[in-house]
Amino acid sequence: MQNNKNDENNFEILNQFRPERTEILKALHSLQNANPQHYISSDAMKAVAKYFNITLGQVYGIVTYYSMFSTKPRGKYIIRLCKSPVCYMKGSFNLKNYLEEHLQLTASTENISADGLFTIETTECLGHCEQAPAMMVNNTIYSNLTREKIDEILHALKTNNYEL
Amino acid sequence: MNYNNWQISLKDSDRYDLNNIENYIKTSGFEALKKALSMNPDAIVESIKKSGLRGRGGAGFPTGMKQSFTKRSCDNCNQIYVVCNADEGEPGTFKDRYIMEKNPYIVIEGMTIAAYAVGATKGFIYIRGEYEKSIQSMQHAIMVCYQHNLLGQNILQGSFSFDLEIYIGAGSYLCGEELTLIESLEGKRGYPRIKPPFPAEKGLWNKPTLINNVETFSHIPFIITNGSEVYASIGTSESKGTKLFCVSGNVKQPGVYELPLGITLRELIYEVCGGMEANYEFKGALIGGAAGTFVDVTFLDVPLAYETLKEKGATLGSGAVMVLDNTTNLKGLLSNILEFFKHESCGKCVPCRIGTTILYEHSKNISNVDINWMLQQAEYMAKNSLCPLGQSPILPIKSFSKYFNN
């Protein structure tokens, strides 16, 4: 039953797009954003294959090529920390260690914090080099980062639990 | 020199509210489009050619030539496309984001004029998925333009029609390469195509496609309004017009600055950006991004222009100027760049897939880097890779070995 329900939801999202290949990335973004765990499930991929009339293999090929898409569940907030040269020079790798320790993320926790709120990823240049180091939490950019600023951001996200 | 009087891409961008297109129109916005629609399309191409405008995405190819190649390829073809490359991913580069967030209408105006000039009726703006604000501001601007008959059927009650839509990327540096971007636009994995044929001949769905960078399109309205001679009077002999420089690092005021090509690094850092932060000493810069070149203090008085940098084996690229100082871990930085190439290599060409990995693995051992060995590998990659990604690591490695390997 659960599967049928998911399928219905997936097709409801897909119906907003023209069934042309040039709409695939937009559709995948929408499916991923609609999933509370911000990933593209195998059911969603099957729905995409059916809707756009391409093979499941082709869909998998697309999803795994682009770094913003994930085939694995993630936290409610995806923290994408920039590791490009300017952020590197401004110490972004220290911030990554700090974040990982702070949220107690390891490979064994599948990179999701115990409360299910956070996943940390690194990303290539976010284009905010004049305010390095920078990170993105879901769709919002935070820049000129320090440990203190990160504490504030995490605290706000944890306590208010506000939508980004 | 007065550094504030040079606004083409960012013209009046601080003076109007994005929700209010009337303000943009008041500051002579869309005058260029009106003028262009009364001109012969070939005359527009000629004018762009004469202006000397070169592509601002990094390669610096003459824009007018690209337009005329696209036009020439369409012999009785039924469709030409115009694509705006807004997949800004070159490390250290953030100028297109600036234009899209602050001055989206000028991009639409420039694209519409270019579409009219080459005879295209359909266009796409490919924006990287991480640029949420740019996506929102461009989307809003497109909607407003449709409402004001500046896009869509019979623009400004004339006979020309042009449809424009946004395409959102999903995280891939490689998709900033024009043919890879086109593959991605077609809803595929971002793998580079073999060229030739170039997009002008066979681009989107194998139709002739004019593809330019955001900044390039933003220069077209100025050229149409003021004429190619006025535009060509700005800059140096082979690098015309202004350029957005993205300055980052430990300078007092990092940011995006629009300045005439030919300004020196010294002027840019010490006059425009207010000099180095206290206790930091200028050591050099990485110009043009990861696929760019390192320069040292001897470059302070070299004009930042395509030809002058090329003469010295450097490149202007996208206009990124990452300033290095006495605290910069240079070998660490080189390794960081090589990690970037390893991550972004699509894996299609074996020399690039394996090459980027071994270069990064070797560079990690900072105390024992054999730069000559790395140069050999990078040279082999440059000769045997299909797209600019595999051809790029040689640039930072070679320039690093020249200026900083001691």
- Domain boundaries in chain B? 21-232, 242-325, 330-403
Tell me if chain A has a CB within 8 Å of the CB of B184: yes
Give CA–CA dist A56/B324, Å, rounded: 47
- Which strand (E) or helix (H) includes residue A106? none
Of residues B12, B60, B18, B82, the one with CA closest to residue B243: B60
Q: Do A29 and B185 touch (CB under 8 A)?
A: no
Residue B208, Cβ density class (10 Å: 0-12 exposed, 13-18 middle, ≥19 buried): buried
CATH number for domain B330-403, candidates 1.10.1060.10, 3.30.565.10, 1.20.1440.230, 2.40.37.10: 1.20.1440.230
At residue A22, what are phi and psi to the nearest 5 degrees?
-70, -5
Q: Do A89 and B190 touch (CB under 8 A)?
A: no
Distance of CA B216 to the CA centre of its chain: 7
Residues of A in contact with B91 (CB under 8 A): 84-86, 124-125, 129
C-alpha pair distances (Å), B225 with each of B21, B27, B80, B156: 19, 13, 25, 17
Which of A84, A135, A136, A141 to mutate to test binding with chain B, by most B CBs within 10 Å of its CB? Answer: A84
ipTM greater than cut 0.90: yes
pLDDT score recorded for residue B3: 67
Token pair for B93: 């580069």
Tell me if chain A has a CB within 8 Å of the CB of B171: yes
Give CA–CA dist B347/A96, Å, rounded: 27
As a whole number of Å, the end-to-end CA separation of chain A is: 31
Residue A1 has pLDDT above 60, yes or no: no
Q: Which CATH superfamily is domain B21-232 in?
A: NADH-ubiquinone oxidoreductase 51kDa subunit (3.40.50.11540)
Tell me if chain A has a CB within 8 Å of the CB of B294: no
Whether the Cβ atoms of residue A63 and residue A39 lie closer than 8 Å to each other? no
Domain positions in chain A are 2-65, 77-160
Q: Do B92 and A89 touch (CB under 8 A)?
A: no
Condensed to tens digits (0 to 9), the pLDDT of residues A102-161 reads: 888 877 788 899 889 999 999 999 999 999 999 999 999 999 999 999 999 999 998 876
In order along its 406 residues, chain B shows pLDDT tens digits of 666 667 899 887 776 677 777 777 777 789 999 999 999 999 999 999 999 999 999 889 999 999 999 999 987 788 999 999 999 999 999 999 999 999 999 999 999 999 999 999 999 999 999 999 999 999 999 999 999 999 999 999 999 999 999 999 999 999 999 999 999 999 999 999 998 999 999 999 999 999 999 999 999 999 999 999 999 999 999 999 999 999 999 999 999 999 999 999 999 999 999 999 999 999 999 999 999 999 999 999 999 999 999 999 999 999 999 999 999 999 999 999 999 999 999 999 999 999 999 999 999 998 889 999 999 999 999 999 999 999 999 999 999 999 998 7
Condensed to tens digits (0 to 9), the pLDDT of residues A26-41 reads: 999 999 999 999 999 9
Query: Which of B91, B254, B339 lies closest to A125 in CB terms?
Result: B91
- Which strand (E) or helix (H) includes residue A73? none
At residue B323, what are phi and psi to the nearest 5 degrees?
-80, 130
Condensed to tens digits (0 to 9), the pLDDT of residues A50-82 reads: 999 999 999 999 999 999 999 999 999 999 999
Q: Do B170 and A84 touch (CB under 8 A)?
A: no
CATH number for domain A77-160, candidates 1.10.10.60, 3.10.20.30, 3.40.30.10, 3.30.470.20: 3.40.30.10
Nearest-10 Cα torsion for A22, A23, A29, A34: -170
Residues of B in contact with A85 (CB under 8 A): 91-92, 286, 290, 322, 333, 336-337, 340
Longest dimension (CA), chain A: 52
Query: Which of B129, B190, B332 lies closest to A29 in CB terms?
Result: B129
Whether the Cβ atoms of residue B349 and residue B342 lie closer than 8 Å to each other? no
Which of B122, B175, B248 to mutate to test binding with chain A, by most A CBs within 10 Å of its CB? Answer: B248
| Cα torsion angle, B320, B323, B327, B329, sign | positive
Q: Do A129 and B97 touch (CB under 8 A)?
A: no
Collect all residues from A whose CB is shorter than 8 A from any CB in B.
20-26, 28-29, 52, 61-62, 65-69, 80, 83-86, 88-89, 123-132, 136, 139-141
pLDDT score recorded for residue A161: 60
Query: Which of B97, B168, B337 lies closest to A25 in CB terms?
Result: B168
Of residues B27, B32, B202, the one with CA closest to residue B107: B32
CATH topology for the B242-325 domain: Ubiquitin-like (UB roll) (3.10.20)
pLDDT score recorded for residue A117: 92
Tell me if chain A has a CB within 8 Å of the CB of B366: no
Whether the Cβ atoms of residue B351 and residue B384 lie closer than 8 Å to each other? yes
Band of pLDDT at residue A2, cut at 50, 70 and 90: low
The minimum CA-CA distance between B382 and chain A, rounded to whole Å, is 22
Give CA–CA dist B369/B375, Å, rounded: 11
Condensed to tens digits (0 to 9), the pLDDT of residues A77-98 reads: 999 999 999 999 999 989 999 9
Q: How many CA atoms lie within 13 A of B213 on its CB side?
A: 31
